[in-house]
């Protein structure tokens, strides 16, 4: 039984050695990278808001129609319809008011016209009396003083009456003009209300501002996406339309790596759903302040943005991606497969074959990427490497 166990171990070791016989010290140009996860987002995204119409139509409006979440829409497409009942009710009320106030204006014009004719008639009577008293006063120039005094008093009274009727007419004209102006202002306001209401009815159909993907927003009152039948309020974001022609990644960079990353650096982005199709991009922005990645974690990160060089139907906002950021380009350096490195008490070792036996050789490490790590030391290109533990397995054999 013991011999069988030894044979199995030897066969197993041979199998692993054959499987990893391509693990060697490599030398050449090396791209150093770090890998971070992130989420796709459109560079340009336009919100679709419930328009502000004023509170005269009410506080809430019901959604009656809405494009399906995730639909591709074009600029100008109707994507949301709201119930215009409140606005139409207000419009009917204002149109009725307009008829009433127009009738009141017509009535006022007739009343003022009649009043003006009456005042003009009174003015003519008073003026005629004034002219008569003036003539009589001139005729009594050679009469007794007593008669002249009487005529003088009568003339003064006629003059006062003429002055009074003149002021009355002037005052009445001002009153009529003000009354007319007030009534016309009322009518103008009602007409404005009617025009605004007609415009508001047109705003009940919300259109997409750009070409893109229709994304329904969350109804904050219930914490779910808006649905047909939900009430919304003025100024609320009902949906978002991202422009799929320009996509970016919202990601983070570990605080220990922030010194390596700079705007303009090349990035390879891979969708979690389609990892075999890489996309090219560049670091476009880095956050200024760090923060805890998770509430109870001590790990701190900086925000980062990466803009993709091209668009693709596969790229949808909200998708999870991995981002390989190229932060260094090294020339003629040694590097090894990441699986070959073993770390013990802060020191890295390579399992190397020397004189037909496996030994652990301490090395210094440099930049790395998702497959290889740069190593420094007394090394030779092509030296065969083993996986950590190969020397122990060889000794046991």
Query: In whole angstroms, what is the distance from residue 93 CA to residue 90 CA?
Result: 5
Q: What is the per-residue pLDDT for 4?
A: 35
Q: What is the per-residue pLDDT for 14?
A: 36
Question: Would you write out the chain's pLDDT as a tens digit for each of its 397 residues?
Answer: 344 333 333 333 333 433 444 689 999 999 888 999 999 999 999 999 999 988 889 888 999 999 999 899 999 999 999 999 999 999 999 999 999 999 999 999 999 999 999 999 988 999 998 899 888 888 877 778 888 788 889 889 989 988 998 999 999 999 999 999 999 999 999 999 999 999 999 999 999 999 999 999 999 888 899 999 999 998 999 999 999 889 999 999 999 999 999 999 999 999 999 999 999 999 999 999 999 988 888 889 999 999 999 989 899 888 999 999 999 889 999 999 999 999 999 899 999 877 788 888 899 998 888 789 999 988 889 888 888 865 554 444 4
Query: In whole angstroms, what is the distance from residue 103 CA to residue 395 CA?
Result: 112
Q: What is the per-residue pLDDT for 37?
A: 94
Q: What is the pTM of this model?
A: 0.60
Q: What is the per-residue pLDDT for 16?
A: 40
Q: For residue 340, what are the contacts with CB-CB under 8 A and spacing of at least 6?
A: 23, 350, 351, 385, 386, 387, 388
* Three-state secondary structure of the chain: CHHHHHHHHHHHHHHHHHHCCCCECEEEEEEEEEEEEEEEEECCEEEEECCCCCHHHCCEEEEEEECCCCCEECCCCEEEEECCHHHHHHHHHHHHHHHHHHHHHHHHHHHHHHHHHHHHHHHHHHHHHHHHHHHHHHHHHHCCHHHHHHHHHHHHHHHHHHHHHHHHHHHHHHHHHHHHHHHHHHHHHHHHHHHHHHHHHHCCEEECCCCEECEECEECCCCEECCCCCEEECCCEEEEEECCCCEEEEEEEECCCCCCCCCCCEEEEEECCCCCCEEEEEEEEEEEEEEECCCCCCCEEEEEEEEECCCCCCCCCCCEEEEEEEEEEEEEEEEEEHHHEEEECCEEEEEEEECCEEEEEEEEEEEECCCEEEEECCCCCCCEEECCCHHHHHHHC
Q: What is the per-residue pLDDT for 242?
A: 92
Q: What is the per-residue pLDDT for 326?
A: 93
Is CATH 2.40.50.100 the right assignment for the domain spanning 45-83+204-242?
yes
Domain residue limits, the chain: 22-41+246-396, 45-83+204-242, 87-202
The CATH superfamily holding the domain 22-41+246-396 is: Efflux pump adaptor protein, beta barrel domain (2.40.30.170)
What the block records as the tokens of 62 is: 């019901």
Q: What is the per-residue pLDDT for 6?
A: 33
Residue 347: strand pairing partners: 344
Query: In whole angstroms, what is the distance from residue 239 CA to residue 80 CA?
Result: 9
């Amino acid at each position: 039984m013991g011999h069988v166990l030894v044979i199995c171990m030897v066969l197993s070791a041979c199998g692993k050695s054959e499987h990893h016989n391509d693990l060697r010290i490599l030398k050449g140009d090396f791209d150093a990278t770090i890998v971070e996860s992130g989420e796709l987002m459109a560079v340009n995204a336009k919100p679709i808001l419930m328009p502000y119409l004023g509170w005269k139509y009410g506080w809430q409006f019901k959604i009656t129609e809405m494009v399906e979440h995730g639909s591709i829409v074009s600029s100008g497409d109707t994507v949301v319809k709201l119930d215009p009942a409140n606005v139409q009710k207000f419009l009917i009320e204002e149109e009725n008011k307009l008829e009433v106030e127009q009738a009141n204006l017509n009535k006022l014009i007739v009343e003022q016209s009649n009043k003006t004719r009456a005042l003009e008639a009174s003015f003519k009577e008073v003026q005629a009396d004034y002219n008569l008293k003036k003539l009589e006063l001139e005729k009594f120039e050679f009469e007794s003083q007593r008669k002249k005094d009487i005529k003088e008093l009568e003339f003064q009274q006629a003059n006062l009456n003429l002055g009074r009727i003149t002021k009355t007419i002037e005052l009445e004209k001002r009153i009529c003009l003000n009354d007319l102006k007030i009534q016309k202002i009322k009518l103008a306001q009602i007409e404005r209300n009617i025009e605004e209401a007609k415009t508001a009815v047109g705003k009940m159909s919300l259109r997409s501002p750009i070409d893109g993907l229709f994304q329904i927003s969350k109804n904050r009152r219930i914490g779910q996406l808006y649905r047909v039948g939900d009430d919304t309020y003025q100024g609320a974001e009902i949906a978002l339309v991202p422009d799929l022609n320009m996509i970016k990644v919202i990601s983070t960079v570990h605080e220990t790596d922030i010194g390596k990353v700079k705007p303009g650096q090349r990035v390879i982005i891979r969708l979690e759903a389609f990892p075999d199709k890489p996309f090219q991009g560049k670091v476009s922005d880095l956050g200024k302040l760090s923060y805890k990645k998770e509430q109870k974690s001590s790990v701190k990160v900086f925000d980062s943005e990466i803009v993709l060089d091209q668009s693709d139907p596969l790229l949808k906002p909200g998708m999870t991606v991995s981002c390989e950021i190229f932060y260094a380009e090294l020339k003629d350096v040694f590097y090894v497969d990441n699986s070959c490195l073993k770390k013990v008490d802060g020191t890295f070792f390579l399992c190397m074959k020397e004189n037909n036996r496996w030994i652990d050789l301490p090395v210094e490490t440099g930049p790395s990427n998702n497959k290889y790590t740069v190593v420094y030391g007394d090394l030779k290109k092509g030296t065969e490497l083993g996986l950590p533990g190969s020397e122990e397995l060889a000794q046991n054999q």
